[in-house]
Amino acid sequence: MDKFPELKGKVHLALRKEGWFAEHKPVLHIIVRAEDLEKSSSWRIRSITAHELMHLVQYLRGIGVDKRWNKTIERQATFRSFARGFAYDFLKAFPAECTKEPCDHKFVFGYFRCDSVFREYCRCLPESSFQELAQKLEVLAQKHDSWEEYDFVGLVSSCLVGE
């Protein structure tokens, strides 16, 4: 929880058959789909957990509390998790979770499609590339460390894929 100091001592966790969402009432809590803990990659679990924790931070700021699903708010949660050190987990989840053969560059994770994140096929990238891309995302997210609703796909794509 040191990456989310504003949540320390305030978050409850529940395992259920259906899940992976955050709620703010009656208390701040995250619902985790129990089967994912056995079937999903550690990259996916860490990235989604960071995404959901960021939703709790959004709720503390009054963002998303109206319960209307909003893709920009979802992308904001993923994007802001990068500044807190979870860009690497996000990037590594793509090759770990995508089962498409051959790759069509359209797999979606964290509300981002892989063609807006990777120039090349992610399964072909060396470890050093993931570390470099993660550093770029972390710096990008730190530069945009506000609660403004940016074009998050455009920011990520410009940074990692280029024009």
Query: Please, what is the end-to-end C-alpha distance for the chain in angstroms?
Result: 36
d(CA 6, CA 9): 9
pLDDT in tens, 141-156: 999 988 999 999 999 9
pLDDT at 73: 94
- Count CB-CB contacts under 10 A for residue 63: 17
| Chain segment 73-129, per-residue pLDDT in tens | 999 999 999 999 999 999 999 999 999 988 899 999 999 999 999 999 999 899 999
The token pair at 11 is 């978050």
What pLDDT is recorded for position 163? 55
pLDDT digits (tens, 9 = 90+) for 4-29: 999 988 888 888 777 777 888 888 88
**Is pLDDT of 1 > 70?**
no
The DSSP code for 144 is T
Residues 3-15 as b/e (b if ≥16 CB within 10 A, e otherwise) read ebeeeeeebeeee
Burial of 100 (0-12, 13-18, 19+ CB in 10 A): exposed
Residue 137 CA to residue 139 CA, distance in Å, equals 5
User: Strand 28-33 and strand 108-109: pairing?
Assistant: unpaired
Per-residue confidence (pLDDT) for residue 34, from 0 to 100: 84
In angstroms, what CA-CA distances link 136 with 12, 19, 119, 144, 156?
Answer: 32, 31, 14, 12, 9
What's the pLDDT score for residue 15?
80
| pTM flag (> 0.85) | yes
